[in-house]
């Protein structure tokens, strides 16, 4: 698996994508500084929100393949805040761009709700109360206790399994078995 992919290249401009850089602003900054200190390009921009690495030169052509190799070397040496390598070798490739944007959006909304309520509640405490209240109102108004739809039962069973078997799920993830992208070998 390649750590960095060449997205596009022109003689004076190369864009690479490194999914493992997403969410690691300190690593992005260190990599940009290292590449600048090596004078591989005149301008370098590394974006932690997308994992995009843009290199531009004015006076000389850029070698996209050599830049990709050098970038991979730098990324493979990088560590996160806990000292773990940022490159995931277990077949788990981290969150997708959409998942990261949605998670970020909900985190911001949650922060706003918590701030508006002076830290007394957040979405994690309010949403279950709203869902319970909505269910109670439906049962009281219809005077029937409807059976949940099959897809809710399926989702609840999967979520319950993962919640109550976190050690088994984590061990499976560490071993790289049974999920998309894994090769079935440790």
Percent of the chain with pLDDT over 90: 49
In 3D, which of 30, 76, 73, 28 has the Cα closest to residue 52? 28
Q: What pLDDT, on the 0 to 100 scale, is given for residue 2?
A: 73
State how beta strands 43-47 and 13-17 pair: unpaired
Mean predicted confidence (pLDDT) in 88-111 = 75
Q: Let me know whether 107 and 164 are in one domain.
A: no
- Dmax (CA) for the chain in angstroms is 78
Task: Indicate if 128 and 156 belong to the same structural domain.
Answer: no
Considering the domain architecture, whether residues 73 and 9 belong to the same structural domain is answered as yes
When divided into structural domains, the chain yields a total of 3
- pLDDT tens-place string over residues 149-185: 999 999 989 888 888 888 877 777 666 544 444 443 3
Structural domain contains residue 90: no
User: pLDDT tens across 32-60, in order?
Assistant: 999 999 988 999 999 998 899 999 999 88
Residues 18 and 51 both lie in one domain: yes
Judge whether 62 and 55 are in contact, CB under 8 Å.
yes
Identify the pLDDT of residue 11: 92
**Of 11, 13, 66, 10, which Cα lies nearest the Cα of 38?**
66
* 140 and 153 inside one domain: no
pLDDT tops 80 at residue 115: yes
Helix or strand holding residue 156 (H, E): helix 150-164
Residue 178's pLDDT is 46
Q: Which domain holds residue 39?
A: 5-77
3-state secondary structure of 186: coil
Residues 32 and 58 in one domain: yes
pLDDT score recorded for residue 180: 43
Mean pLDDT over each residue of the chain, to the nearest integer: 84
């Amino acid at each position: 698996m390649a750590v960095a992919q060449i997205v596009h290249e022109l003689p004076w401009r190369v864009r690479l994508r490194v999914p493992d850089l997403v969410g690691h602003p300190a690593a992005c900054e260190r990599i940009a500084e290292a590449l600048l200190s090596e004078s591989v390009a005149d301008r370098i921009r590394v974006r932690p929100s997308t994992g995009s690495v843009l290199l531009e030169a004015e006076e000389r052509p850029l070698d996209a393949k050599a830049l990709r190799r050098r970038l991979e070397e730098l990324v493979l040496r990088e560590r996160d805040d806990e000292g773990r390598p940022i490159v995931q070798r277990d077949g788990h490739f981290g969150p997708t761009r959409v998942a990261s944007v949605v998670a970020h959006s909900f985190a911001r909304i949650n922060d706003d709700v918590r701030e508006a309520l002076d830290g007394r509640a957040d979405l994690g405490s309010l949403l279950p109360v709203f869902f319970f209240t909505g269910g109670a109102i439906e049962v009281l108004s219809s005077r029937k206790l409807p059976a949940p739809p099959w897809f809710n039962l399926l989702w609840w069973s999967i979520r319950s399994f993962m919640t109550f078997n976190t050690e088994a799920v984590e061990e499976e993830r560490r071993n790289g078995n049974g999920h998309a992208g894994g090769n079935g070998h440790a």
